[in-house]
Structure 1
């Protein structure tokens, strides 16, 4: 559920930064840019935590 919310937040922030840039206020643009960065970070964290690589914990050997 949280992952899908992150995807929606990312898509909405891209819409505010991209095609709707001319009509959106400056405070919304800076907030949308920040939301896009946070969303990408969260999505990468979700993907990393859901990967099922058994050798990942034995990298010190």
Structure 2
């Protein structure tokens, strides 16, 4: 659930920063840039935590 909310927030903030930049107020652009960065960071953290459970202590054969 958190991952999908983060994806939606990231996509909406990209819309405000990208194609809708001309009609968006400056405070919304600043907030959208901040939301884009935070949601991208959250997505990377979520993907890292749910990633593969490989054990790095064992050397590869």
TM-score (norm 2): 0.88
After TM superposition, what 4+ stretches of structure 1 lie above 3 angstroms from structure 2?
A: none
Structure 2: state its 5+ residue gaps.
none
TM-score (norm 1): 0.88
Q: CA deviation at 1:55?
A: 1.1
Structure with the larger helix share: 1
Structure 1 CA distance for aligned equivalents of residues 49 and 13 of structure 2: 24
Q: CA deviation at 1:52?
A: 1.9
Q: CA RMSD in A?
A: 1.3
Aligned residue pairs, count? 58
Structure 1: state its 5+ residue gaps.
none
